[in-house]
Amino acid sequence: MPPTGTPRPTPTITPTPTQIPPYESLVGIFEYNDEHPVDLVVEAEEAREGVIVQTVKYYGAEHWAYHRPLRVTAYLVLPVGNGPFPALLYLHAGGMDKDQYLDEAVLLAKSGVVCLLIDGPISSVRGSRLDPFDLLKVRDAYIRTVIDLRRGVDVLESLPQVDPQRMAYVGHSYGATWGGVLAGLETRLRAYVLMAGYPQISENDTPQVPEMDAIRYLGFAAPAAYLFQFAEHDAFIDRDEAQLYFDTANEPKTMLWYDTDHFTLQHVSQADRLQWLGRWLGFYVPLP
């Protein structure tokens, strides 16, 4: 089946330099104690369409105020069988939660793919009455998001039914924004699908955190591959921002555009996303 998204070449946009430390200095922001056990706990389990959906918790990033790891809530969606299976880590859009991609995860699990869908701390920040310019709290939530994702990779890697050589990431909106940062830090993921992410969160949301901009990390993920999916009628990400995101990333990379908006992008782009991931991780999902 040919892709439904259309590659759209546009002029290259050059990032504006900012006086912050180079990449080698920035990666330390997202360091964590990888010797601390993830302590995966299953709180509930149900069968759904022939696969297993578990509600789980694991230890994520340490909170600056508590000096101890905080629990991350997630869905762990498992195929039937012992594997080894490929695995995907998902992060939802801002203002949403782990339910956003649950139907997609169930579809994937039916084809032999393990999926971990986490609740990101960004939701609690953006959905609360916290002042977005309260730098300490917002910056902490952003750092926690990335470390919680890295700990999510730890969780997947620890599962006996997961093939650690076939793991990838999927993120939408804020999930794509932090996926761009994650890509420059992780060496265990083979591929990244980033849907309508912000290349520079400091230009769109929180000016005090230019060191959190995804464009500072996207170029350091090789040999991991990227699929960028964007919406023609996106009210948040314009064409120049999308092109900046794409241009900053390392090869191999693909960019597809869809005749849709920011919120329905996840549905319109699903077939291309699953086919692309299947090629990189070695699975097949039958689609209508």
Residues 248-265: pLDDT tens digits?
999 999 999 999 999 999
The full DSSP string for 156-211 is: HHH-TTEEEEEEEEEEETHHHHHHHHHHTT-SS--EEEEES--S-HHHHT-TT-GG
Which of 25, 14, 13, 10 has the alpha carbon at shortest distance from 217? 25
**pTM of the prediction?**
0.89
Residues 213-252: pLDDT tens digits?
999 999 999 999 999 999 999 999 999 999 999 999 999 9
- Assigned fold of 37-281: Rossmann fold (3.40.50)
Residues 22-67: pLDDT tens digits?
888 888 899 988 888 999 999 999 999 999 999 999 999 876 555 6
H or E stretch including 253? strand 253-258
* Between 185 and 124, residue with greater pLDDT: 185
Domain boundaries, the chain: 37-281
pLDDT band of 121, cuts 50, 70, 90: confident
